[in-house]
Structure 1
Amino acid sequence: MAILRSPFYASTDRRLRLLGPIVLFMVGALFFRLQMYLETPPAKIPILVTVALGSGFIGWELARLTALFIQSRLPGLERTRQRLIFLILAIIVLSHIGYLIRNVIHGVIGSFPLQWPTLVDYSARLGVLIFYATVTLNIYEGAYLWKQWRQTIAEKEKLIDSEWQARFDLLKNQINPHFLFNSLNALSSLIEEDPAKAEQFTNELSKVYRYLLQSNNQEMVTLAVELQFILSYGHLLQTRHGEGFRLSIDVDKQYHSCLIPSLTLQLLVENAVKHNIVSREQPLEVSIRCDGTGVLIVENKVQKKENQVLSNGVGLANINNKFRLLNLQGIRIEITEERFVVMVPLTEVPQY
């Protein structure tokens, strides 16, 4: 069963439920029913007021519950048009219910005999009740729209903050002095030991930094481009760690044209290296494959370092934020004692 939540704070909602029917009665008495009250014998006025207020409280509660029920079934700004259609139908139904309640109460207490109303009487009374129902439903729907709008703005601001954080982190990755220092150290050693290997390392390093610099202007790239980059990045890691790092890629070419947010794989591989032991005795194995359903799987052995690197999950959160900013389904993570698995959904290139 759907939980009915008022768009107002609890205290505000209570005041509305108490004062709303009274204000509506006073407005109706002054602008719609003044002549009736002036022509009614003074002895009957207390009865009319009591019936009107009692019916007004019942009508307010019914309209309130109706509005909250419709909002619970059709939530969000994107369903506003559907809600409005049901609210219009609710105005008609609630007005007739209110008309029936007033007539029944009058008949029970004997203030007016129960009889079939004339067209003029029916029209006049129903018009007032339509006004009451419309005002009550609009109050709750208007508050709901305002709350939804504010929530949407807050979410957009949060996403914008996340985007700028992601851009900032990307910039840090582009000029990461630690990564550059390690790469230059490895290059310096190779120049004396193996000049040919040093030249290859330099080429791969230039490819990595070229891609890092270009990726800030590319939100999505093909999987083929991303895999080519991760091969260069993996080459640098293998050169630095020797047999301590192993990268395997097994992705069918049919998925190479699919799109993926740039640097997704680099962040995942970097995350694996950051949090696990990478040594000749305990080589870190990272595999990248596709499961055949358009989902890329990045998996590595779990071999936690004794002195764990402080982690707040920002790297993986940034990947998910980037997917959300691009209106894509986010990554999924599965962790066992032996494996750390990240499932990345691929996006097919739209056909025109």
Structure 2
Amino acid sequence: MLDRLHNRGLRIGGILLLTLLSVSSTGYLRPPITQLGLIKIAIALVFMTVIWEMNRLLIGFFLKRYPHRSQVIKRLVWTAPVCFITTCVILVLVSGISSFLLTGRVSFQTRSSDSLLSSATTITLVILGVYEAFRISILLSQSEKEKEQLKIANLQSQLEALKQQVNPHFLFNSLNSLGALIEENPKQAGQFLEELSSVYRYLLRSNEQDLISLTTELDFIRSYFHLLKTRHGDGLELRLRVDERYRSHQLPPLTLQLLVENAVKHNMILPDQPLLIEIATTDEGTVRVANNLQRKPSRIFSNGVGISNILSKYQMLNQPRPTVHEENGQFLVTLPLIKLDS
């Protein structure tokens, strides 16, 4: 705050305001402006500069002595009377010096006591009011900035937590699949392990980013779906229909994986009743993930990582909210694609 007292624009504006107030009632500004009037205006400008600067130094002194917000009242109790007395002394000196410059004689009787006290009070209140208003505006601005920074930090923290939440969930499901496959087909288990390593390399890289291209995410989905297909065989199908225009558009990493995983988790997968998952772009610049509804008869426990995770990611990235609904026997999730400026 102390360095803000040196604000040049504030000082010049304040000095001109005081000068205008001091000469407004004298008639010196009314045309025609005489030479004597100009001299008195110049004298007023000089001495108002002195008064302003002296008060500014005093305000700075007490701000340094009582810098905390809890000390505002104590600071003002000291600042106001000291500035008032200083202003009175300067005004008395101004009377004498002005008298000498204009008449050649020193006289301190040009002001009555009431006029002196009234002028000193007005000047002190103007200067203190300007700097207190300026100080409060700075504090409010800093407070808003701190709130915004805290909000951003909190959102980033939550986003990181969501990213980390995906890792153990995905690993747990993948290892379950691998364990089952080892017993059924050891040879395919080896290939499954290679694909799992490839998938996890992507997972580690994508975890460092908030957004990733649709093309990159689809490449990952193909690898991830290969793992699922190895386990479920003909009971699971994937269909991709992606317009080339949208391949460079962005979306949060692992969003499509969560939706594919969600479909597999909550629906029956049978060779004679396959689960079809379709990922397609639309003319509106979105990507739609759909699967036919064939819910498992027993209720599957959900820890809320899937859909709610995706909604939270879009919200934290300040993007339009994805839509989730059921229609004609299908579960549909529509994700906005994000076009980055070139």
| Structure 2 length-normalised TM | 0.55
Corresponding residue number in structure 2 for 1:257 = 248
Are positions 1:169 and 2:165 aligned together?
yes
Name the SS for the 2:319 alignment partner. coil
Asked if structure 2 preserves the Cα contact closer than 8 Å seen for 1:250 and 1:289, the reply is yes
Are positions 1:145 and 2:142 aligned together?
yes
Note closer, same or farther for the CA distance 1:145–1:350 as it changes in structure 2 (3 Å cut). closer
Corresponding residue number in structure 1 for 2:13 = none
Corresponding residue number in structure 1 for 2:80 = 28
Asked if structure 2 preserves the Cα contact closer than 8 Å seen for 1:167 and 1:216, the reply is no
Q: What is the Cα deviation at residue 271 of structure 1?
A: 1.6
Question: Tell me, which stretches of 5 or more residues in structure 1 are unaligned?
Answer: 1-18, 37-111
Are positions 1:284 and 2:275 aligned together?
yes
Are positions 1:333 and 2:323 aligned together?
yes
Corresponding residue number in structure 1 for 2:199 = 211
Matches within 5 A, 1:293-312: 293-312=284-303
Note closer, same or farther for the CA distance 1:254–1:23 as it changes in structure 2 (3 Å cut). closer
Q: What is the Cα deviation at residue 306 of structure 1?
A: 3.8
Note closer, same or farther for the CA distance 1:278–1:335 as it changes in structure 2 (3 Å cut). same
Q: Distance between the aligned counterparts of 1:293 and 1:267, measured in 2?
A: 22
Q: Distance between the aligned counterparts of 1:123 and 1:293, measured in 2?
A: 69
| Structure 1 length-normalised TM | 0.54
Q: What is the Cα deviation at residue 205 of structure 1?
A: 5.4
Q: What is the Cα deviation at residue 274 of structure 1?
A: 1.8
Look at both structures and tell me which one has the larger radius of gyration over its CA atoms: 2
Asked if structure 1 preserves the Cα contact closer than 8 Å seen for 2:259 and 2:289, the reply is yes
Corresponding residue number in structure 2 for 1:233 = 224
Asked if structure 2 preserves the Cα contact closer than 8 Å seen for 1:204 and 1:233, the reply is no
- Which structure has the higher relative contact order (CA within 8 Å, separation 6+)? 1
Q: Distance between the aligned counterparts of 2:85 and 2:273, measured in 1?
A: 88
Question: Tell me, which stretches of 5 or more residues in structure 2 are unaligned?
Answer: 1-70, 89-113
Q: CA RMSD in A?
A: 4.3
Q: Distance between the aligned counterparts of 2:223 and 2:76, measured in 1?
A: 73
Asked if structure 2 preserves the Cα contact closer than 8 Å seen for 1:170 and 1:216, the reply is no
Note closer, same or farther for the CA distance 1:160–1:21 as it changes in structure 2 (3 Å cut). closer
Q: Distance between the aligned counterparts of 2:165 and 2:75, measured in 1?
A: 56
Q: Distance between the aligned counterparts of 2:79 and 2:269, measured in 1?
A: 78
Asked if structure 1 preserves the Cα contact closer than 8 Å seen for 2:174 and 2:196, the reply is no
Q: Distance between the aligned counterparts of 1:211 and 1:316, measured in 2?
A: 21
Equivalenced residues, count? 245
Name the SS for the 1:267 alignment partner. helix
Note closer, same or farther for the CA distance 1:347–1:253 as it changes in structure 2 (3 Å cut). same
Q: Percent of pairs identical after alignment? A: 27
Q: What is the Cα deviation at residue 172 of structure 1?
A: 1.6
Q: AA paired with 2:146?
A: W
Note closer, same or farther for the CA distance 1:134–1:336 as it changes in structure 2 (3 Å cut). farther
What do residues 58-82 of structure 1 show as CA deviations (whole Å, max 9, x unaligned)? xxxxxxxxxxxxxxxxxxxxxxxxx
Q: AA paired with 1:332?
A: P
